[in-house]
Structure 1
Amino acid sequence: MDSLTQAALGAAVGGAVLGRRLGRKAVLIGALLGTLPDLDVVLDYGDAVANVTEHRGFSHSLFVLTGLASLLALLCRRLAPARDISVGRWWAFFLLCLLTHPLLDALTTYGTQLWWPLAVAPVAYPIVFIIDPLYSLALLGGLLAALAGARVHRACAWGLTLAGAYLLFAAGAKLAVEQRLAPVLADRGLESAPRLVQPTPFNTLLWRATLIDGDDHYEALVGLFDGAVEPTLERYRRGVEWLPLAQSHPRGQRLAWFAGPFLRYEVRDHRGQETLIATDLRLGFPGFHPFAFSLASRAGDAWQPLPVSEQLQGPYPADGDRRQALARLASRLLGPEPPLCTSRFVAAEWLVEAPSHC
């Protein structure tokens, strides 16, 4: 999640745990602890693939943060004994303020490396977008009440309750969307295909489903207000003929560990050279994927891994098409019309099948 929301979450947790003892100081300290794990963004690993895949790594590890919470609790118990706060209470304060950060990140698309340093893929159960105004406002409302009044503990607890209720609603919405998708996938024989169901930006009313079946990549939008309209699938190519080349290099293997099968491969000209590019299909939409990485370039008849991977842009549709897509996406929140039809924004060589209404 964004840094403001993480600070608000840490502040609310801090106020709920030690607000009665420390007052507004608990809110302030909690806010600082809530943003602490994201300080890893200042680290530059010298490579675009490394920078993306190492983020939410060691600084979000349950092991590391539990150790840090224990150390801080012992220090506070030693340095501030007069406050009559037990070491167990300090430990709960630091632990909850720190751990709620990666646990919330695990509810977004890219997930979190909760079990670092174990070589386990990021944990992700996406039910909220990386920026969700309603979730953030629930926390901020409680914090404003805590800062304005005397009952810090109660106000923060109410903020956490409202934010938690919103997450429960989001989880229920995801289950409802998956149930609506099930018969469509059964008709296509895609019941066992790897899938990713996630909310579209800034809301939990409209959801995007991405499925992978060999070289095929399917997309669907499902809204809670779609009524009886059956979800439709748009079908694209993934360029799996380039998969062995990508997987023959460490960066390609790292991306596969990070994104699983949700990758597209292509060769296009970059700086005058034929370049192998891997695109993460999880964030954005077809035609609007922001995370693409250069992996290798052709020298004569041979492919060589690039010394440093770059994060590339586009190719994106024209500005007019972008505005049209955003307008259609906003309209889809409250009903099935107009269809987004992402196939309109994708190069013809990637499209396999578009629904008849597109």
Structure 2
Amino acid sequence: MDGLSHALLGATLAQLPSPRRCPLGRNQRLWLGALGGLFPDIDYALFPWSPLEFLAYWHQGPTHSLLLAPLWAGLLALVLRLHPALRAQGRWLFLLLLVGILSHDLLDALTGYGTQLFYPLSRARFSADLLFVIDAYFTLLLGLCLAVLYRRPGRRLVLLPPLLYLGLLLGLKQLALYQGGAAVAIPQPFSPLHWQVIDPHRQQSLYLRLAPDPVAARVSSWLGYPGWRQGYQTGAGARWQPYGPSSADPDWQTEVDQAWRHPALRPFRDFARYPYLYRVEQREDERCVWFSDLRYDWPALPASFRYGLCHRADGDWRLYRMRYLSEWRQRL
């Protein structure tokens, strides 16, 4: 999830203890919960070192582990205890930071990326494919919860609206699976009423609209993606589209196969759950083959994670990535 949602959730949960039990003030609890909620994404510091290795192996790994969360909370608490105003509150520092960190880990597991919740005992990634990485409705509900709890700490029933929203998303996901007749449904940007349905066995996918969402249509147009809504189909007229790391053009198929099997692309193969050929292109004397993952492919928007290999007639393959929301490429 986005950083704002993580900070809001951590800050909200930090307001749950009764003021009679927790000696820390509301502002102190707010910042401690937000800090814990943001901390696991400190692993982004590794991104410049190797973007593809980070994507495949490092992100949402050790810092997102439920098993290691007490360690991170303890280390943060030790640092914060150096402040004179917090020196005597070691127990509450640890508990509020721990709650924030755990909330981050579990919230990320509701998205489609995949979180290593039990690292180092297991590197298995858990993803519920329930929340899109940015969900304005969910974030707004968290903000309202925090506003109420900040004024009246300890009122646990305030958390009911975001929990009900998650239940609504679960129901919508089941409806998308039923209408699409497939085993996988991926949340989409702008609206909980839009889903991508995937049949991994047949390597087919479709973009499904469960119901009109005029708010999402206006927001997507305002952000510069007016064609987003037209990319989704209703259940009755929906048509499946094939996907996969192969080309329909026989002139490119050999190079596509070579690029897909190249050792430099192994981290991407490990990362991608539903890989597909993004595009092939001829750049003067250079030919490039690009791949992406259906989890991060949406109508009218550039795919988030695009990695490819390029070569000249007399040269070896070279690994590149396209930057987010851009055609600018970076050699790796």
| Shorter-normalised TM range | 0.7 to 0.9
Q: Take 1:140 and 1:314, find their aligned partners in 2: how far apart are those partners?
A: 28
Note if 1:236 corresponds to 2:242: yes
Q: Take 1:66 and 1:249, find their aligned partners in 2: how far apart are those partners?
A: 40
Contact 1:48/1:311 (CA < 8 Å) preserved in 2? Answer: no
Unpaired runs of 5+ residues, structure 2, are 214-233, 247-252, 328-332
1:134 Cα deviation after fit: 1.6
Q: Take 2:41 and 2:283, find their aligned partners in 1: how far apart are those partners?
A: 32
Give SS of 2:174's match: helix
1:198 to 186, 200, 219: 186
Note if 1:252 corresponds to 2:269: no
2:130 aligned partner: 127
Provide Cα deviations, 1:127-148, integer angstroms capped at 9, x if missing partner.
Answer: 111111221111111222233x
Deviates more, 1:49-58 or 1:160-169: 49-58
1:285 to 294, 298, 302: 298
Contact 2:289/2:310 (CA < 8 Å) preserved in 1? Answer: yes
Give SS of 1:16's match: coil
Contact 1:57/1:114 (CA < 8 Å) preserved in 2? Answer: yes
1:313 Cα deviation after fit: 7.2
1:23 to 17, 22, 25: 25
Partner amino acid, structure 1, of 2:322: Q
Provide Cα deviations, 1:274-303, integer angstroms capped at 9, x if missing partner.
Answer: 12211222223256342353433334377x
- Across the aligned residues of Structure 1 and Structure 2, the Cα RMSD in angstroms comes to 3.5
Contact 1:126/1:197 (CA < 8 Å) preserved in 2? Answer: yes
Equivalences for residues 1-358 of structure 1 within 5 A = 1-17=1-17, 20=20, 21=22, 22-24=24-26, 25-53=28-56, 54-72=58-76, 87=91, 91-117=94-120, 120-147=123-150, 149=151, 151-154=152-155, 157-182=156-181, 196-213=184-201, 216-224=203-211, 230=236, 232-240=238-246, 241=253, 244-264=257-277, 266-270=279-283, 272-285=285-298, 288-300=301-313, 304-306=316-318, 308-311=319-322
Partner amino acid, structure 1, of 2:159: L
Contact 1:262/1:280 (CA < 8 Å) preserved in 2? Answer: yes
Q: Take 1:314 and 1:144, find their aligned partners in 2: how far apart are those partners?
A: 33
1:319 aligned partner: none
Alpha-carbon spacing, 1:217–1:272, altered in 2? closer, same or farther (3 Å):
farther
1:61 Cα deviation after fit: 2.5
Q: Take 2:55 and 2:140, find their aligned partners in 1: how far apart are those partners?
A: 28
Give SS of 1:291's match: coil
Alpha-carbon spacing, 1:56–1:44, altered in 2? closer, same or farther (3 Å):
same
Q: Take 1:2 and 1:233, find their aligned partners in 2: how far apart are those partners?
A: 32
Provide Cα deviations, 1:167-193, integer angstroms capped at 9, x if missing partner.
Answer: 1211122122212322xx5xxxxxxxx
Partner amino acid, structure 2, of 1:208: Q
Alpha-carbon spacing, 1:101–1:136, altered in 2? closer, same or farther (3 Å):
same
Contact 2:32/2:97 (CA < 8 Å) preserved in 1? Answer: no
1:23 Cα deviation after fit: 3.1
Unpaired runs of 5+ residues, structure 1, are 186-194, 317-358
Provide Cα deviations, 1:298-342, integer angstroms capped at 9, x if missing partner.
Answer: 34377x342x532257899xxxxxxxxxxxxxxxxxxxxxxxxxx
2:221 aligned partner: none
Q: Tell me the matched-pair count.
A: 294
Q: Take 1:212 and 1:170, find their aligned partners in 2: how far apart are those partners?
A: 22
